[in-house]
Amino acid sequence: MNNSNAPQLVIVGSIGIDTIETPREKRIEILGGSVSYACAAASYFVKAGMVGVVGTDFPAEHRALWEGLGIDLDGLQTEEGRTFRWSGVYEENMDNRRTLVTELNVFENFSPELPDAYRDAPYLFLGNIAPALQLHVLEQVHSPKFVLIDTMDLWINIARDELVEVVGKCDMLTLNESEARLFTGSSSLKEAAEILLAMGPRFVLIKKGESGSILVSADGAHSIPAYKLDDFKDPTGAGDTFAGGLMGALAESGRVDEVAIRDAMIYGSVTAAFGVEEFSLERLATLDRAQIDARVEAFKALGGIE
């Protein structure tokens, strides 16, 4: 069993230094990466352990920000060289994003190794990285109660077989609508979800951006709306924040049943809505739990969700 300081939730993913351009603003070299967003969101619910890699150029202030959120950094590796860098530009309506630059740097030779204290974690989130690395992490965890896996079009295109293998060993797969279609070759979301469930996970969570998300299992489908914001600055990392908040709330509940997952989806949705209010982790770093809970209540009242 865990010692009391060990993280209940372990998250692996990318850590990036991002340059992001929206129609209104350009921000250079800001903190990003899937595990960075996911751990920040999860930190409002449970002790989250971060598994990732940075280079020797990684600014100390970013590490301090994570520490300030209570994120466990024992699983963070620092390697000689430059940190992963990514840059993207959003089009006028913020719906479309183009990647301008991806520099793998220390990510290229990354081999995630879990500290002993992480191996008994009951909850695991395999954030968006190469499926072979996700599998390597999964193999190091002893008997997790619940494993969520995320992915992206890149891996569906270049590492499909490995992705299918690791998805088959997870409890839940999350991906967006277009990725679900790409992965399965089906234009019907219902059929796509059935094909994905047949790969092995008990749940498939399809994200539909501003239209919310759908949880599908053998028992049927359940959708929740997105938390609508009048204004947002930067949608980067919204999916990672959603998944991190969801897994944090689920780990806090200690449950793994469908009702608990539905409830956790609302926390994920609300956390993601906070995250996009500012660039990088700027809003996520200044939240408090009462603000999250208040929005969850407002969200439930608005959506008629019990």
Query: Which residues of the shown chain bind ligand AMP in the complex (CB under 6 A)?
Result: 14, 16, 18, 32-34, 86, 102, 128-129, 154, 236-237, 239-240
Q: Which is nearer to ligand AMP, 154 or 302 (CB)?
A: 154
Give the nearest distance from C-beta 16 to ligand AMP in angstroms.
2
- DSSP one-letter code for 181: H
On whether the CB atoms of residues 17 and 84 are closer than 8 A, the answer is yes
> Distance between CA atoms of 275 and 31, rounded to whole angstroms?
13
Give the nearest distance from C-beta 202 to ligand AMP in angstroms.
23
> Distance between CA atoms of 41 and 149, rounded to whole angstroms?
16
DSSP secondary structure of 200-258: S-SEEEEE-GGG-EEEEETTEEEEE-----S--S--TTHHHHHHHHHHHHHHHHT--SH
Q: Which is nearer to ligand AMP, 102 or 217 (CB)?
A: 102
Give the nearest distance from C-beta 73 to ligand AMP in angstroms.
18
> Distance between CA atoms of 274 and 44, rounded to whole angstroms?
12
Q: Which is nearer to ligand AMP, 8 or 176 (CB)?
A: 176
Give the nearest distance from C-beta 207 to ligand AMP in angstroms.
10
> Distance between CA atoms of 199 and 6, rounded to whole angstroms?
32
Q: Which is nearer to ligand AMP, 72 or 240 (CB)?
A: 240
Other beta carbons within 10 angstroms of residue 182's beta carbon come to 17
How many Cα atoms within 13 Å fall on the side-chain side of residue 125? Answer: 36
Q: Which is nearer to ligand AMP, 40 or 215 (CB)?
A: 40
On whether the CB atoms of residues 193 and 237 are closer than 8 A, the answer is no
Coil, helix or strand for 82?
coil
> Distance between CA atoms of 62 and 302, rounded to whole angstroms?
36
Q: Which is nearer to ligand AMP, 200 or 209 (CB)?
A: 209
Q: Which is nearer to ligand AMP, 133 or 256 (CB)?
A: 133
Give the nearest distance from C-beta 218 to ligand AMP in angstroms.
28
> Distance between CA atoms of 265 and 27, rounded to whole angstroms?
30
